[in-house]
Amino acid sequence: MAPHSPLVTVAQLQEWLQQRPTEVLVLDASFDLGDPAAGQQAFLQSHLPDAAHIDLDKHLSSRPDGSNGRHPLPDFAAFAAVLARLGADNTTHIVAYDRQGGMYAARVWWLLRRAGHAQAHVLDGGLQAWQAAGLPLAEGPAATRRSGSFRLRPALVEIVDYETLRPLVDAQAAPLIVDARAPDRFRGENETLDRIGGHIPGAKNRFFRDNLDAQGKFLAPDALRAAFEALLDGQPASGAVMQCGSGVTACHNLLALEVAGLPGARLYPGSWSEWSSRDGAPVATGTA
């Protein structure tokens, strides 16, 4: 049933929902960093039939303490309980989507992989692709669904923390670090989310939206592979570290790498929001 790619098309998802609806859970991960209530409101106005809403702040993150970034990883036992409550088992195909080019759906995909769940997918093109296909939408609260038995299993993806990364950066011995933020924020300009602008010394910039075409769908695997291989410059993807502002859009680059057939890169969950909050952490500005 699962495709080779972590992406599913509208046609594939429609077929799954028609043929095996009890084996699929669709999660709407829509969110707005500037208005945390907007995702739930948008869900109530329109969502894929039988989808449930999952919230970045409430379900996909734990509480920040001022030094661990704006969106620390969730407590995974609590994350598993949420998935079970929404109807997931360990064999369920979980498909995430959003209205923001996959930036939040990719976080769901990566967290599912971190929870040991291989049947994790992202709807390519999100809600807009579903609408463009002329398919119906629902409104109001999510439909009630039986509880599932989702349980944590060994992680399928790896992380790197500040304590590991900092001395490597200081010694100029860090692996390739790729920052998914917009180029101006990477350069240290127009910073509105974190108290210090700039980037981790030695990092390269790959804006997550460069993974998408004009319709908001992921570029073809060959195009993604060429772009990331140029960035890697001969280094294996498995040695690279992906980061962003708070560990969210970095997952978009991790998803793109997976689509490109270049798996194995690690996530720095705290990302720039953690790095820039630590006393004495070095900061670079300008282009890489």
Q: Which is catalytic among the residues 103, 112, 200, 244?
A: 244
244 has catalytic annotation: yes
* The two structure tokens encoding residue 193: 């989310």
Could you give the residue numbers annotated as active site? Answer: 244
